Structure 1
Amino acid sequence: MPRAAADARSSEAAVQAIIDDVRARGLETLRALALRFDGVEQDHPRVPADVIAAALAGLDDGVRAALEEAIRRARVFAGAQAPGDVEVQVAPGAHLTHKWIPVDRVGLYVPGGLAVYPSSVVMNVVPAQAAGVGSIALASPPQKEFGGWPHPAILAAAAMLGVTEVYAMGGAQAVAALAYGVRDDSGTGRDIDPVDVITGPGNVFVATAKRLVRGRVGIDSEAGTTEIAVLADATADPDLIAADLVSQAEHDPQAASVLVTDSEVLAAAVVDALAVRAARTRHAERVRTALSGPQSGVILVDDVEHGIAVCDAYAAEHLEIQTADAAAVAARIRNAGAVFIGAYSPVSLGDYCAGSNHVLPTSGTAAFASGLNVTTFLRAVQLVHYDRDALHEVAASILSLSEAENLPAHGEAVAARFEASAT
C-alpha cells in the first residue's frame, strides 16, 4: 500500500519533550515556541475580544455567506446524530439507564500554516455545541502577518459560532496546554484551564501530541496529514478523478492521493490528466511533491470486488467511489473515515458544505476510529436502580460468583442487606 515513509511515531521524542516543557514552564514555554516556530512575540496567547470582533467585521461578505451555509448544514447533520437515553427493566424492580452526558470542557484545534481553515472551526465547534458542551476553547497557530493572532477568517468563524475563548497557539504545545492547563502567575487571571476532550486535525506533530496525551484527555482520532483514495472502474471520468486527487494533494507535500482501479486504460488516463492539472494549479510544487511521494500512487486490482478489499485494507480518511452502481459498492465498504458516492460527491464537498464532518481518522486508523461527531463530546453513564425484591432475586447468583472469584466481601455486601432486615 502507498504509505508515508515515516509515521507519527518518528516524532514522539520531540513532541514528548515539548509536552514536558509546557507542563514544567507553562507560559514561558508557549512564548518561546511561538517565537521559535511562528516568529511571534507573545505576552499571552489569549486573543482579545476586540480582535475577534474586528475579524468578524472585516470578513468578506461572500466568505461569511459560505460559512453561514456550512454552519447551517453541519448543524442539521449534527443535530440528528445525538443519541437518546435508553431505559430498560431487566426484571421487575430492576431498572437500568444508559444516559448520555456531555463533557464539561473541550479544546478544539484548528491548523494553520500552508492553508487557512475557517471550515475546521465549523467542523469542530458545531458538533460540540450540538452535544451540549458548556465550555469551548479554540486554539490556532499565531500568524506574524496578522499581529501574532490566528488568521482573521478563523477568528471570524469562531465569532459567528459564539466562541469567545480563542488562543494563538499551534502544534504540540497547543495540545499540551489544552490537556494540562497553564497557570498565569501574573495575577491577571488568564489561566488556560485544562479540557476533557481535544479534537481537530493537524500535522504529524499535532497528531502525535494528541496520541501522547490520550488518557489524560479524550481525543477524537489521529487526524493527521490528509489522504484520499478513489475506487474507480472504466466508467469513471479520468479528469474528475485527477481533479479530486489534486484537491487533496494541495494540502501538504505529505498528503496522500491514491487511485484504486481495475482498468489499466483509466489508470493511464488519470496519470496523464494529473500531469496537466498538477502543472496548472496554484500550488503546483506542493502538489507534485505529494503526488510523487511514497504515500501516493495507483493500485491496479483484478476487479471491483478486489478493489473493495484493497480499500478496506487501506482504510482511507476520504474514499471516493466512482464506479458503475457506486451506491451499492459504497454500502459494502467497512473501513473509511468518510465515503463519497458518485461523480457529484467529491471530497471537496465534504471539506466545506456537505454537512458532514471533515475531521477524520488518517493513516489507516479509520479501521477502528470514527470521524468527529456529536458522540465524541458525550460520555455514557449507566444508572442502576434495584429495589429489595429485585436484588434478592439475584443475591444467590452474586454470592456464587463472588466465591468463584475469591472475592467473598462482594457477596457479603449483598447478604448484609437481608441479614439486617431479618433482625
Structure 2
Amino acid sequence: MSTSQRLLAEADAHSAHNYHPLPVVIASAEGAWMTDVEGRRYLDLLAGYSALNFGHRHPRLIEAAKRQLDRSTLTSRAFQHDLFPAFCAELAALCGMERVLPMNTGAEAVETAVKTARKWGYRVKGVAHDRAKIVVAENNFHGRTTTVVSFSTDEEARADYGPYTPGFEIVPYGDLAALEAAVDEDTVAVLLEPIQGEAGVHVPPPGYLTGVRELTRARGVLFIADEVQSGLGRTGATFACEQEGPSGVQPDMYVLGKALGGGVVPVSAVVSTDEVLGVHRPGEHGSTFGGNPLACAVALEVLAMLRTGEFQERARELGDHLRHELDLLTGGAVREVRGRGLWAGIDVAPEYGTGRELSERLMARGVLVKDTHGSTIRAAPPLVVSKEDLDWGVEQLGAVLAESA
C-alpha cells in the first residue's frame, strides 16, 4: 500500500464523508503547483475555489503572517488591536464604502449580510416585525449553513436539513422581470452572485446587474453582491460588479471572503455604508476570531497587492488567452465554455464522461480541477499561473477528451 493509499484509507475511516475528494494527498505547494506525498507534481487549476487567487504560499503573504506570528495572533473583539483600524479603513476604501464587519468564512459573511439586511429593514426601512424578505436567485451558492441552504435550489446541499428558515423568495438568475415581480413592500434586499460559480461559472446577461441596481434603488431595497468567489481579482477586476457596462455597478453591500485571507487564514467581511452597517449595536452580532491580528496582517498585505492592479491585469490577459484556447476545443467534446477572467466553466458532452471522471483523468495527467453538475468542470487557476502552464493544462484537457472519444 502506497503512502497516499494509506492516508486516504485513514481519512475515509475517521472523517465524516461530507466531501468526495479526488484520490490525491497533497504534501506541499508553491505558486500554481502542488506536490503529493509520493513526490508527484500537479498543476492546480482550482485555487481553493478562489481562496488561492495569489497562489500557494505567496512570499509576501507568508512573510506578513510570519511577522505577525511573532507579535500576536488573537485578542478577540473584546479588545482592540493595532492592525484592526487599518484593515477596516483600507478594505472600506477598496470597496468604495465606509464600514467593515469582519468574520471568518464566506458563509459567516453571508449570514452576517442576511442579519444586517433584516435589521436595516426593520430599523431604517420600517418593515413590519418578522416580515422581512430577501430575494435570491436559482442555482445560487452562498454557503452551507442552515439558513443559507434554506434558499438553495441544490437538493444535494439542502435535503434533510429542514425545517428551513423562512423569509426568502427564489427567482430565475438573469431574469429582471421575475425579480421585479418578486420585490414587494416587505423586501429588504436582493442577494446575488455577480457570476454564479458553483453553478458552473454562469455570467448573467449584459445589463442584468445594472437593472438590479436600478430596481433596488427605485424600490428602496438593498443590493447585496456576494463576491466571495468572484471578487478580489478573479474576473480581471477587483470586483465582478465593476465589469457591468461602461462604468460598473456599486452594490449597497459586498460580501467578501476566500482570497481576502490569501490562502493562509480564513478572513471574510461584509462591507457597506454607515447607514447600513450602522444598525448594529454592541452585543448584537460578533465573532471571536473575526478581525483577529493574524487575519488582519495577511488581509492588509492582500489589499496592498490588489492596489497595484497587477493581479487584476494578469487575470484579464491570461483569462483572454485561456478562453481562446478553450474555445478551440468547442464544437465536439466541449459543448460550451463560460466565464470571465481566469475563471471558466467547461460543459463537456456527456458521452465523454462525467465531470468526476474527467477530473480523475486530468489528475492522472497532473492537472487538478473540480467537477460540478454532471459533465461540467471548473477551472480557476491562481492568478500567478504562467501562460506556459495554462497552455499545458489545456493541452492535457484536449488529450483527455481525445482519449475519451
Q: TM-score, normalised by structure 1?
A: 0.28
The structure where helix makes up a greater share of residues is 1
Q: TM-score, normalised by structure 2?
A: 0.29
Structure 1 or 2, whichever has the larger Rg, is 1
Q: RCO (CA 8 Å, sep 6+): is it higher in 1 or 2?
A: 2
